[in-house]
Structures are given as C-alpha cells and as structure tokens.
C-alpha cells in the first residue's frame, strides 16, 4: 500500500465519519427538542387536571378582564357546610416575570396572583389570555370556566405548538341564567 492510497482511504473515511457524526448530532438535537415539548405539554395536562378538580368543587368562578386570571371561591373542609360558610379563594393566573412570552400558569391562595408569588403549575404558554367564562345566551347552567393553554417549548420556531382546551363546570355553584 502506497502513501497516496493511504491518504485517499483516510480522506474517504473522514467524509463518511463526518456524515455519521452530523446524523448523530442532529438526532441528539431532535431528541432534546422533543423532550422539551413533551415536558411542557405534560405540565399543561397536569395543571388542567388540578384546575378541573378545584373548579368542580368551587362555589363560584370569576374571570378577570382580558382572561389572564380566574378566581375560585372554594368551600371549607366540612362538606355539610358546602358553600354557605367558611369559604376560601384560590386564584390561577398566566403571568411572566418579564411580562412577555413565555408565560407560566400559577396558582396562589387569595384573590391576587403573580409570577413572583404564585406556585408555578405549567410553563411555556404563548399567551397570558388563557381563561374565559362561557355562558351561551338563553341557557341556565352551572358557571363554567373555559381554558385554552397554547404551549410551545421553543418560541423561536413555529413548529411544535400544542393547544390544550377544555370547559370546566363549577358543579358546587348555583345555577345561573345566561
């Protein structure tokens, strides 16, 4: 084997190996991005599950103007008292410390909620207007809370966006006419 043959073989090997390395690095980046999206989506699902439990036992639900927060009046721990005495308030809000996306979903005891004082339940929300109070005209229903959580772990790209939407009913609250 001559020196020229050896150099030619090494050059071909370098090209093949560089292609393999590029494929591995690309696969690693894809896996990291997929894991970030999964974690964001899972935290949103867990948050809506917690919110569903609280709303179903709430005595009343109110949504702030702009849909950035929802305050729930919850009964005390004695089921026989229901909503008549000893209620407490919990507030859920979509907020960020910078005031811009990505927003987090926070829960806080009381009538106020913010990113600096609330307990974070979800992250990577693309908007802070996530709550609504649907009440179809001409109906008599228990109060409802509409939630729409648009989640995107990487705001720099338009791919990977996931929206979780649900309408939660406050079954403990009195029926209202719309």
Q: Which DSSP string do the residues of 145-171 spell out, in sequence order?
A: EEEEEEE-S-TTSSTT-EEEEEEEE-T
Q: Which helix or strand (DSSP H or E) is residue 12 part of?
A: helix 3-56
In three-state secondary structure terms, 22 is helix
Q: What is the pLDDT of residue 140?
A: 92
The average pLDDT across 85-110 equals 92
CA of 25: how far to CAs of 18, 32, 147, in Å?
A: 10, 11, 38
Q: What is the pLDDT confidence band of residue 1, given thresholds at 50, 70 and 90? A: confident
Contact status, residue 171 vs residue 56, Cβ threshold 8 Å? yes
pLDDT per residue as tens digits for the range 106-151: 999 999 999 999 999 999 999 999 999 998 888 999 999 999 999 9
Give the side-chain half-sphere CA count within 13 A for 177: 1
Enumerate residues 6+ apart whose C-beta is below 8 A from 100.
Answer: none
For residues 173 and 82, the model is more confident at 173
Q: DSSP readout, 23-74?
A: HHHHHHHHHHHHHHHHHHHHHHHHHHHHHHHHHHT-SEEEE-TTSSEEEEEE
Q: What is the pLDDT of residue 81?
A: 62
User: Nearest 5 degrees, angle CA 21-CA 23-CA 29?
Assistant: 105
Report yes or no on whether pTM surpasses 0.95.
Answer: no
pLDDT per residue as tens digits for the range 2-30: 999 999 999 999 999 999 999 999 999 99
User: Does residue 177 surpass a pLDDT of 60?
Assistant: yes
């Amino acid at each position: 084997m001559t020196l020229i043959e050896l150099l030619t073989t090494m050059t071909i090997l370098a090209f093949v190996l560089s292609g393999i390395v590029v494929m591995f690095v690309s696969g690693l980046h894809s896996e990291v991005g997929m894991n970030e999206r999964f974690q964001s989506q899972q935290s949103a699902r867990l948050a809506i599950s917690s919110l569903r439990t609280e709303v179903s036992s709430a005595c009343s639900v109110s949504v702030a103007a702009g849909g950035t927060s929802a305050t729930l009046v919850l009964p005390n721990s004695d089921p026989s008292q229901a909503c008549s005495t000893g209620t407490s308030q919990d507030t859920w809000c979509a907020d960020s410390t910078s005031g811009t996306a990505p927003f987090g979903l926070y829960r806080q005891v009381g009538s106020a909620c913010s990113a600096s004082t609330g307990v974070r339940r979800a992250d990577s929300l693309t908007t802070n207007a996530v709550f609504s109070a649907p009440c179809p005209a001409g109906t008599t229903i228990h109060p409802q809370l509409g939630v729409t959580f648009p989640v995107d772990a990487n705001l720099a790209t338009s791919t990977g966006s996931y929206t979780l939407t649900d309408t939660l009913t406050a079954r403990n609250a009195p029926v209202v006419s719309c």
